[in-house]
Amino acid sequence: MSIAEIFKGEHFALDENKLIPIEDAAEKINYEPFCEILGIRPKHLFLNTDSFINRYCYWDGLYYHPFMSLDMAILNFNMGNYSQAELINKRIKYVHSAYESKQWKEIIKFTDKKVLFHVYKKIMPLIPEEERANAFLEIHVRSESGYDIDLVRSVIDGPKDASYDISNARMKPIDGYYIIYRGSTPESTQVDEAFSWTLSKEIAEFFAGRFDSNGVVYQAKVHKDKVKAFIDNKEQEVIVFPEDIIGIEEI
């Protein structure tokens, strides 16, 4: 297994299709004591075939926690005044309590980046419509992957903080248009369907060559009024709808 595959397995969005319920795992695993100490139901414990390091995980559709093994010593390890098992159990209960009381910001605070978009879709009805776009963008920045264009379309036109306005970009438009770039690999979304671009050619080149993937860099342009959001960080990301992008070409 390559470093790239290990990285993706640990950081990219959780693929629920790769999860095997611990009760159905082909290898014989003594999971009952682990579940008992942790205070969880076996149906929420999985073997994650997509991960090389954290081969197991707890996932109940709202809270996620990875485990390198089902070694009891992991759970008995003290973290201050509590054991690891007690801390995890407290977090599980806290997140579910926050869900019941509609405290969606608290849920996001305790959400692992691998399941941010899974959780966002679940809690979206709890988020006031005027805050959904900001919540989405906060999650988007924290994530490596996992979003889709349908989700973007459903929320991105909502009210957003002024910090997400393209006018904040250091680069200025030419005749109303921004030059945008995208680094694409064989695993990336097709360029004519992508909504995540950057104002930086160097950043696009980085993503094209990420994981030794021999990707390509595309250049295009978009009118300033069509930019849905601008994220003013090192990636200089712009979010646009595919149909608003003009003149895509490989460079």
* 233-250 pLDDT tens trace: 999 999 999 999 999 999
Specify whether 39 is located in the same domain as 118: yes
Specify whether 70 is located in the same domain as 84: yes
Is the pLDDT score of 28 beyond 90? no
Higher pLDDT pick, 149 / 242:
242
Specify whether 3 is located in the same domain as 53: yes
Specify whether 146 is located in the same domain as 207: no
Specify whether 1 is located in the same domain as 23: yes
How many Å separate Cα 135 from the centre of its chain?
13
Helix ranges, 21-148 (H): 32-38, 72-76, 84-100, 104-109, 116-123, 132-142
Q: How many domains does the chain have?
A: 2
Is the pLDDT score of 120 beyond 90? yes
Point out the domain boundary residue: 158, 189, 214: 158
Specify whether 63 is located in the same domain as 10: yes
Specify whether 49 is located in the same domain as 108: yes
Point out the domain boundary residue: 98, 123, 158: 158
Tell me which long-range contacts 105-108 makes (C-beta under 8 A, separation of at least 24): 107/62, 108/135, 108/138, 108/139
Residue type, 9: G
**Dist. CA 80–CA 83, nearest whole Å:** 8
Specify whether 78 is located in the same domain as 45: yes
**Dist. CA 245–CA 238, nearest whole Å:** 11
Specify whether 111 is located in the same domain as 209: no
Specify whether 100 is located in the same domain as 58: yes
Specify whether 42 is located in the same domain as 114: yes
**Dist. CA 26–CA 220, nearest whole Å:** 49
Specify whether 168 is located in the same domain as 152: no
Tokens read off for 88:
């995890």
pLDDT score at 11: 77
Q: Which domain holds residue 205?
A: 162-250
Tokens read off for 228:
């849905």
Point out the domain boundary residue: 141, 158, 175: 158
Total-model pTM: 0.87
**Dist. CA 64–CA 48, nearest whole Å:** 12
Q: What is the radius of gyration, based on Cα positions, of the chain?
A: 21
Average pLDDT, integer, range 134-154: 88
Average pLDDT, the chain: 92
Is the pLDDT score of 141 beyond 80? yes
